[in-house]
Structure 1
Amino acid sequence: MIDIFTTGGTIDKVYFDALSEFQIGPAAIPDMLRENNVHVPHRVTQLMRKDSLELDDADREAIRVAVAASDAARILVTHGTDTMVLTGRVLAGIPGKTIVMTGAMQPASVRASDAEFNVGFALAAVQTLPPGVYIAMNGMIFDPATTVKDRAGQRFVQQ
């Protein structure tokens, strides 16, 4: 069983009309997994619906508590990319769990989104990596302790 915790972020943003900005909508991952015929046993829990720039220390602690309390050894967390590394560092040290974080640079609701690829890649990673905390983005695995987001390059890089 893979526990999937959603927190919001770009992956869950939706655009309602030409006059509005993106807003965080319901978790995109249940529909994404169903539409892509994914059958790996999983359960999805929406922890919050926030842009990662709005997450604070209390939110990060709530994510840590949920991950630590899960009876699953394999955890996938969808998260906004701007502060994903920070939350990944907070999750470090939870014993006996493989924790993989992923997100998207473009909302899942947008045709050219990287969301579906990143989620599929993260699902494979969480099933194969040893215990620890990882970021799975755009075909690469990163250690949150030594990673930063390159906003201009729209990618993560090792320091």
Structure 2
Amino acid sequence: MNQNYNEEKIQIIVTGGTIDSYYDIDACTTLCHQQTAIPEFITKFAQIPDCEFELTEICMKDSRKINHQDLEKISTAISLSNCNRHIITHGTFTLFDNARRLQTLLAHNHQQVVIFTGAMWPLVGFSPNDAGFNLGSAFIAARLAQPGIYVAFNGKLYQPDDLEGLH
């Protein structure tokens, strides 16, 4: 576990989900990009310089396909990072479930701020959408929240055990 944290830098952990997808007309659904669109959005539209975040791409999956090995990779990425503030972009289907699972995996690592976020519409190709707002909310939450695991969605900050969730 790294104890020399960079307080200014936020680790962004990408897992796919609708936030990082495109709409496939033939399949009539969203499909994850092969590579994340998030860093370009952050630097171009949110104007957050790349020196203020580090990117870790774990997978590009629908959240219903994220498995225990993926969560282990997320946990390891957080533990090995020199950041103590993290944003995990994630699909909404299992957002709260995987936040709870990661909370168990990181129980030993009390100094971390971990913010899960996602979107109901893709970040790229849909305007207006909730993706940029949710990502921006996650940045604010990551900078201001006390250590713990949270879900930032629709301008609210939830605990992983909140039953209200995205309803």
TM range (shorter): 0.7 to 0.9
Flag structure 1 segments of 5+ consecutive residues without an equivalent. 150-155
Counterpart selection for 2:16 from 8, 12, 21: 8
Whether 2:42 is the aligned partner of 1:33: answer yes
Counterpart selection for 2:148 from 127, 132, 150: 132
Other-structure match for 1:78? 89
Distance 1:129 1:31 in 2: 25
Other-structure match for 2:26? 19
**Identity score, percent:** 32
TM-score between both structures, scaled by the size of structure 1: 0.87
Q: Is the 8 A contact 1:52 1:83 kept in 2?
A: yes
Distance 1:125 1:134 in 2: 9
Instruction: Point out the more displaced range, 23-32 or 126-135.
Output: 23-32
Distance 1:59 1:91 in 2: 10
Structure 1 pair 148–79 and aligned structure 2 pair: CA distance change class (3 A): farther
Distance 1:145 1:2 in 2: 24
TM-score between both structures, scaled by the size of structure 2: 0.83
Distance 1:96 1:47 in 2: 22
User: RMSD of the TM alignment (CA)?
Assistant: 1.6
Q: Is the 8 A contact 2:14 2:59 kept in 1?
A: yes
Q: Which segments of structure 1 move beyond 6 Å, counting only runs of 4 or more?
A: none
- CA deviation profile, 1:26-65 (whole Å, cap 9, x unmatched): 2121111122212371111111000001112222222122
Other-structure match for 1:91? 102
